Amino acid sequence: MNRIEADRARFREIVRGRIRADLGRYLSTTELIARQGEHAVSVPVPQIELPRFEFAASEDDGVGQGPAARGERSAESGDGRPGEGAAGEVPGQHAIEVEVELEELAEMLGRELGLPRIEPRGKRNLEAEGARYSGLRSRGPDSLRHARRSFDAALRRTIASGQWDPKNPRVVPERDDLRFRAGKPAPRPQSSAVVFHMMDVSGSMGREQKEIVRIEAFWIDTWLRSQYRNLEVVYIVHDAVAKIVDHDTFFHLRESGGTRISSAYELCLQQIRERFPNDDWNVYPFHYSDGDNWSARDTERCVELLKQDLLPRVNQFCYGQVRSAYGSGQFKKDLDLALGTDPRVVTANVSDRGEVMGAIRAFLGSGR
């Protein structure tokens, strides 16, 4: 199929911007989505979408099938989205979905986005004593005797001393031949991290916005899990008050009323103080909202909290601003203005699903 390779090469040239610059503005990153256990998995693929007359994506997208709609609670309500990879104009073009291992996914993500491995903070976090029996010595208790290496040594001695008789291949170990396993101190990276996913669930965050947060959160967890042995995830939702919820509630809860972001930061701080002391934990708070806050006064309070209490305790603080029809997007501007120069603070705009991967690269690209 050399023809298709030629067409693919041309497409890639266009994506790189070398030819047909007129198409650049239609370039976006779409995702392939499949299911991984109960999670959705997305793979970024560049795509050029020529304009056509088409319907606007609406909040209510029509007829569904199943025991429960999104938003309705039931055993099956959840994260599945069908794989849309192989939509085509040919009817009998059938595709089925296959599951992927989580570790493999993290690896692919890292490769795809060029993510650096994380350097954990502080020396005491880096080294944790552990012993592995990876050495050998010639004295030791019988229980640690290494039979194969002992025999090996005896065989060498037998051959070297000319006592080897192929017709009667007998090897008799002597005391000096014996080898014993020995423990070696093995410094291992300390590997506990906690992720806080904080989300604004006030009325203005719609289903699509939450879907974006869900995809984002899934990938962040997947990556961090591959970098730390032990990853705790804490979900915090807030409108005017904040509370801790479980995974499922996090993505389906819809509250109404105002938005006081500082409530979430306070709760996060309290959690860090009580449950995740800095000596033992790498801390990653992520916050997602559409950028509306109750008042400028509260935004000041947030900046204050970040500066004084949160930032000194965390590896990195990330804020993802999801565009919604109602959000003003002011909060990101305020954060950038107050803390934009601080390397521990990363903010990103995510207007649609196509930008999720870009935001992840921004969040995880520093290797902090």
Span 63-122, contacts to another protein by CB under 8 A: 63-72, 76-78, 80-83, 85-86, 88-100, 108
Tokens 């199929």 appear where? 1
> Phi, psi at residue 141, to the nearest 5°?
-75, 150
Site for another protein in 21-40 (CB under 8 A): 22-23, 30, 32-35
Site for another protein in 238-277 (CB under 8 A): 254-257
β pairing state of 242-245 and 192-200: unpaired
Angle at the Cα of 9 (from 4 to 10), degrees rounded to 5? 100
Contact between 54 and another protein per CB under 8 A: yes
Identify which of residues 78 and 189 has a Cβ nearer to another protein in the complex: 78
DSSP state of 56: P
Q: How far is CA 136 from CA 145, 146, 171, in A?
A: 9, 8, 21
Identify which of residues 127 and 255 has a Cβ nearer to another protein in the complex: 255
CB of 97 to another protein, least distance (A): 5
Site for another protein in 310-329 (CB under 8 A): 326
> Phi, psi at residue 365, to the nearest 5°?
-70, -15
CB of 339 to another protein, least distance (A): 31
Cα 21 from Cα 24, distance rounded (Å): 5
Site for another protein in 116-155 (CB under 8 A): none
Residue selected from 9, 131, 159, 296 as contacting another protein according to rule CB under 8 A: 9
Helix, strand, or coil (residue 322):
strand
Site for another protein in 201-240 (CB under 8 A): 203-204, 206-207
CB of 316 to another protein, least distance (A): 28
Identify which of residues 206 and 358 has a Cβ nearer to another protein in the complex: 206
Identify which of residues 70 and 344 has a Cβ nearer to another protein in the complex: 70
Dihedral, CA of residue 12, residue 14, residue 16 and residue 21, to nearest 10 = 180
Residue selected from 48, 144, 182, 311 as contacting another protein according to rule CB under 8 A: 48
Count of residues in contact with another protein, rule CB under 8 A = 81
Residue selected from 16, 20, 124, 156 as contacting another protein according to rule CB under 8 A: 20
Cα 220 from Cα 315, distance rounded (Å): 14
For the chain, give the longest Cα–Cα distance. 93
Identify which of residues 29 and 192 has a Cβ nearer to another protein in the complex: 29
Identify which of residues 13 and 119 has a Cβ nearer to another protein in the complex: 13
Cα 105 from Cα 41, distance rounded (Å): 9
What residue type is 179 in one-letter code?
A: R
